[in-house]
C-alpha cells in the first residue's frame, strides 16, 4: 500500500485532482467527508458540540448547522481548539479505519485541506500539492463560487501561504491553466510515479539510478527534499532515532554529485532497525526494509563498521539511508566529512576532481562508491586535523 497526502489552498482545484485519482483507481479518503461523518445526527461528537457551543447549532432535522458553528469558532482560537478536541480524535480514528480497509496493493490518497498547516507531511510516503497562486485562487472564489472578496481573502489568509505549501511538496501540480492540462498532469503522476512507487513497496524493490554514472551540478532543491525525507524517517522511527541527518555530497552546497540523497539515521543499536514494527512503520512512509551493510573503517585498526542500509521505493527520488549505531564512530565520521567539505574549498576541489576522473574512466554507478574509498582513506586524517584545529563537534 502507498499512502499519499493530497492538499492545496482553498480554490486550488484539489477536489478535481482527488476525483481524477479516484477514477484512475486510487482509494481516496476525503478528510472533509470524514469530518462531516463524525458529526452526523445522533453521533456523540454532535451532542458534545451542542453541549459546549449551544443547542441552536443543531437544526430542526438534527443536522449540524456548519456555517453557524464556523461563525462561532472562526477567529476564536480557544473555541477552535475546543472544537478540535471533540472532533479530531474521532476523525483520526475513522481515517485509520478507512485506510486499513484498503487493499494491500492500493494507492491510498488522503485528501486533507490542512495537511501543511497541521505539519502532517511526515505521515505520508508522498505529499502532492495542487499549486495555484493566491491571487488566482481569490479570483476563482469570487467569480466562480460567489464569495465576497473580503471573506475570500480572510479564508486564504487563514491557511498556509504559497511558499510554505510549496516547500512541503514532493510533487507540485500547477493548476493555473485548463482542467484538461491538470488532468494530464494527474494521469502522468499516476502512471509514472504513484503506481510504480506502490509496486516497489509491495515487491520490496528500492528505486535506483541508472548504471550509467552521471555527476550533475549541485541542486539547491536537494536540501528541501532531504528535509521532507528526514521528517518521514523521524515520524516512522519516533524515539528510536537519536538523530536523522542529511549527509554525503548532496548535503554540501556547491559540490556536484550523483542525484541521490544520502541520509543518516543514528540509533541506540542496529537491532532497532531489524524490528518488524519499525520495518512496518518505515514502509508506511515509503521506505524499504533495512538490510545489513558496512562502512570502510577510518584506519587500519578498524577495517569495517557494521550498519544498516535501505532506500525508498519512490521512482521520482532515489535516496540511500545509512543506519549507524550511536556507540560507533561511523556516524561521527559521516558528519565530519560533510562539514569539512562544506568548510574547506580545497577539499571540495580535490573531491570534485576525483569524481570527474571516475566519470571519465567510464565507471558504472555501482563501481563508483567503492572506487572513491582510497581517496576517503587519505582524506580522513585531513578532516580530523581540521576538526582538531577548529574544535569541530557534531551539531
State yes or no: pLDDT of 298 exceeds 70: no
- Domain 221-390 maps to which CATH number in 3.30.390.30, 3.30.460.10, 1.10.10.60, 3.20.20.70? 3.30.460.10
> Where in 39-145 does DSSP place strands (E)?
107-111, 126-131
CATH 2.40.50.140 fits 1-26+106-203, yes or no: no
Helix (H) or strand (E) holding 281: helix 276-284
Task: Take residue 153 and report the three cell numbers written for it.
Answer: 481573502
pLDDT score at 144 = 84
At residue 76 the predicted structure's pLDDT band, cuts being 50, 70 and 90, is: confident
State yes or no: pLDDT of 186 exceeds 80: yes
Residues of the chain with CATH 3.30.460.10: 221-390
State yes or no: pLDDT of 301 exceeds 70: no
| Residue ranges of the binding site | 11-16
Task: Write out pLDDT tens, residues 192-217.
Answer: 999 999 999 999 999 998 899 999 99
pLDDT score at 74 = 76
pLDDT score at 299 = 64
**What integer best gives the mean pLDDT of the chain?**
94
State yes or no: pLDDT of 241 exceeds 80: yes
Task: Take residue 194 and report the three cell numbers written for it.
Answer: 504513484
Closest CA to 152 of 169, 135, 168, 167: 135
Helix/strand/coil for 356? helix
Question: What is d(CA 259, CA 319) in angstroms, rounded to the nearest whole number?
Answer: 9
Task: Write out pLDDT tens, residues 351-389.
Answer: 999 999 999 999 999 899 889 999 998 999 999 999 999
pLDDT score at 321 = 98
Say what the pTM is: 0.90
State yes or no: pLDDT of 300 exceeds 80: no
Question: What is d(CA 379, CA 96) in angstroms, rounded to the nearest whole number?
Answer: 50
Sheet with 27-30: list strands edge to edge.
27-30, 107-111, 2-8, 126-131, 171-174
- Mean of pLDDT values over 21-43: 96
State yes or no: pLDDT of 292 exceeds 90: yes
- Mean of pLDDT values over 51-76: 90
The one-character DSSP state at 112 is -
Question: What is d(CA 351, CA 373) in angstroms, rounded to the nearest whole number?
Answer: 11
State yes or no: pLDDT of 281 exceeds 80: yes
| Residue ranges of the binding site for ATP | 11-16
For helices 149-157 and 134-143, angle between their N-to-C axes, nearest 10 degrees: 140
Question: What is d(CA 314, CA 189) in angstroms, rounded to the nearest whole number?
Answer: 12
Task: Take residue 252 and report the three cell numbers written for it.
Answer: 554540501
Phi-psi region of 62 (alpha: psi -120 to 50; beta: other; left: phi over 0): left
pLDDT score at 222 = 97
Which residues partner with 309 through β-bridges? 291, 322
End-to-end CA distance of the chain: 36
212-249 per-residue burial string, b: 16 or more CB within 10 A, e: under 16: ebebeeeeeebeebbebbbbbbbbbbeebbeebbbbbb
Helix (H) or strand (E) holding 2: strand 2-8
Contact predicate 184/227, CB 8 Å: no
Residues of the chain with CATH 3.40.50.300: 1-26+106-203
Task: Write out pLDDT tens, residues 163-184.
Answer: 999 999 999 999 999 999 999 9
Amino acid at each position: 500500500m502507498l499512502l499519499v497526502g493530497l492538499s492545496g489552498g482553498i480554490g486550488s482545484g484539489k477536489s478535481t485532482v482527488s476525483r481524477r485519482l479516484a477514477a484512475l483507481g486510487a482509494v481516496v479518503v476525503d478528510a472533509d467527508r470524514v469530518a462531516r461523518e463524525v458529526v452526523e445526527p445522533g453521533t456523540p461528537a454532535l451532542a458534545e458540540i451542542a453541549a459546549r457551543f449551544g443547542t441552536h447549532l443543531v437544526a430542526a432535522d438534527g443536522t449540524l448547522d456548519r456555517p453557524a458553528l464556523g461563525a462561532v469558532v472562526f477567529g476564536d482560537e480557544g473555541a477552535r481548539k475546543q472544537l478540535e478536541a471533540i472532533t479530531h480524535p474521532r476523525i483520526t480514528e475513522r481515517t485509520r479505519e478507512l485506510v486499513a480497509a484498503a487493499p494491500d496493493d492500493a494507492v491510498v490518497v488522503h485528501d486533507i485541506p490542512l495537511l501543511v498547516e497541521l505539519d502532517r507531511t511526515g505521515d505520508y510516503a508522498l505529499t502532492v500539492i495542487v499549486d495555484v497562486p493566491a491571487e488566482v485562487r481569490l479570483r476563482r472564489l469570487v467569480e466562480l463560487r460567489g464569495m465576497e472578496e473580503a471573506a475570500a481573502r480572510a479564508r486564504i489568509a487563514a491557511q498556509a501561504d504559497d511558499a510554505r505549501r510549496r516547500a512541503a511538496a514532493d510533487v507540485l501540480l500547477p493548476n493555473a491553466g485548463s482542467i484538461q492540462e491538470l488532468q494530464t498532469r494527474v494521469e502522468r503522476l499516476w502512471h509514472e510515479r504513484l503506481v510504480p512507487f506502490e509496486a516497489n513497496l509491495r515487491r520490496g524493490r528500492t528505486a535506483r539510478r541508472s548504471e550509467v554514472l552521471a555527476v550533475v551540478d549541485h541542486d539547491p532543491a536537494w536540501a528541501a527534499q532531504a528535509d521532507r525525507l528526514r521528517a518521514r524517517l523521524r515520524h516512522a522511527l519516533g524515539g528510536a532515532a537519536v538523530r536523522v541527518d542529511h549527509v554525503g555530497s548532496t548535503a554540501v552546497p556547491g559540490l556536484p554529485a550523483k542525484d541521490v540523497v544520502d541520509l543518516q539515521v543514528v540509533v541506540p543499536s542496529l537491532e532497532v532497525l531489524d524490528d518488524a514494527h519499525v520495518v512496518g512503520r518505515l514502509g508506511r512512509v515509503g521506505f524499504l526494509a533495512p538490510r545489513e551493510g558496512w562502512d570502510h573503517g577510518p584506519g587500519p585498526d578498524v577495517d569495517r563498521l557494521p550498519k544498516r542500509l535501505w532506500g525508498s521505493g519512490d521512482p521520482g527520488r532515489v535516496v540511500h539511508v545509512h543506519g549507524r549505531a550511536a556507540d560507533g564512530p561511523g556516524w561521527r565520521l559521516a558528519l565530519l566529512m560533510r562539514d569539512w567539505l562544506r568548510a574547506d574549498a580545497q577539499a571540495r576541489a580535490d573531491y570534485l576532481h576525483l569524481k570527474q576522473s571516475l566519470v571519465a574512466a567510464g565507471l558504472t554507478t555501482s563501481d563508483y562508491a567503492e572506487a572513491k574509498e582510497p581517496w576517503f582513506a587519505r582524506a580522513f586524517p585531513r578532516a580530523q586535523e581540521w576538526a582538531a584545529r577548529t574544535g569541530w563537534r557534531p551539531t
